[in-house]
Amino acid sequence: MTVVRQASDPPEDDLAVRFRAGDENALRQAYDRYGRAVFHLATSTLANRADAEDVTQATFVAAWLARDTFDPARGSLIGWLLGIGRRKVVDRLRVAARENRVVETVRQLPDPAPTRPDPETVVDRLVVADELARLPEDQRRMLELAFFDDLTHQQIATVTGVPLGTVKSHIRRGMASLKRRWEVDGAAPGARPAGLPGAR
C-alpha cells in the first residue's frame, strides 16, 4: 500500500527523529500518516476486521513503548512500524490457532466420568506450572511456545527473531532444569509430569 503524504505533513526525517525523542505530537502524526498502511497489512492476513484493528493499535503501542530502539539511520519509520505490525499479526494468528485447538479438543472430549480427578495428575500439572514460572524468562517463553503453542524450533526462531541455535539451547537448558527438580522431588529418573510433551 502506498503512503500518500499531504502538503502539510512534516518531513519523514523530522517526524522520525521527533517520534524517537518521545514527542506525543509525532506519535499522532505517525498514526495519521501510517495507520492505514499498518491496518492494510493486518487485513491482508487476518479475516476479522476487529482483529486487524486490534493489531494496528497494538503495533503503535509497541512502537511507542520501544521508540528508543528505533534508529532512523538504519531505516524508515514506516518500515520499522510494518515490521512490528508483521510480528503482531503472527502473534494474533498464533493466539487464534491455540484458541481453535482448545475449542476442538474440548469438543472431542468424551463426557466426563462422575469421578474425582487423579490426585497425582493434578499434582503433576501443578508442578509443571510452578517450575515453568521459576525458569528464566527466555527459557520459559521458548518452552511455552514449543509445548503449549505446538511450534517447532524453527517456527519459534521465526516468531521471536531469536537464532535457531539459541532457541534450542534455551529449550534444552529449561528441560534440564525441570528434570532436575522432578528428580529432587522424588520422580523417577527421566520421568516427567503428565501433560508436558517431550522436546522435539
Question: In the structure, what pLDDT confidence band is assigned to residue 145 with cuts at 50, 70 and 90?
Answer: confident
pLDDT at 176: 85
Cell of 41: 497489512
pLDDT at 69: 93
Average model confidence (pLDDT) for the chain?
A: 79
**124/185 Cα distance (integer angstroms):** 11
Q: The cell 476442538 sits on which residue?
A: 104
Tens digits of per-residue pLDDT, 82-128?
999 999 999 988 888 887 777 777 677 676 555 565 666 666 666 66
**101/90 Cα distance (integer angstroms):** 16
Tens digits of per-residue pLDDT, 8-49?
555 778 999 999 999 999 999 999 999 999 999 999 988 889
Mean pLDDT of 143-154: 81
Predicted TM-score (pTM) of this structure: 0.48
Question: In the structure, what pLDDT confidence band is assigned to residue 188 with cuts at 50, 70 and 90?
Answer: very low
**Quick check: 148 pLDDT over 50?**
yes
**125/117 Cα distance (integer angstroms):** 12
| Number of neighbours of residue 23 by Cβ within 10 angstroms | 16
**66/55 Cα distance (integer angstroms):** 16
Cell of 66: 520501544
pLDDT at 186: 54
Question: In the structure, what pLDDT confidence band is assigned to residue 80 with cuts at 50, 70 and 90?
Answer: very high
Q: Is 195 left (phi over 0), alpha (psi -120 to 50) or beta?
A: left
**Phi, psi dihedrals of residue 195, rounded to the nearest 5°:** 95, -5
DSSP run (H or E) holding 132: helix 119-134
Give the domain ranges of the chain.
Answer: 10-107, 118-186
- 10-107 maps to CATH 3.30.930.10: no
- Residue environment code for 5-17, b if the CB has 16+ CB neighbours within 10 A, otherwise e: eeeeebeeeebbb
Cell of 175: 528441560
**Quick check: 199 pLDDT over 50?**
no
- Higher model confidence: residue 117 or residue 5? 117
**Quick check: 151 pLDDT over 90?**
no
Q: Into which CATH architecture does domain 118-186 fall?
A: Orthogonal Bundle (1.10)
CA 162 to chain centre: 12
76 CB burial (10 A radius; 0-12, 13-18, 19+)? middle
* Distances in whole angstroms, Cα of residue 163 to Cα of each of 89, 92, 108, 125, 158: 20, 22, 37, 30, 8
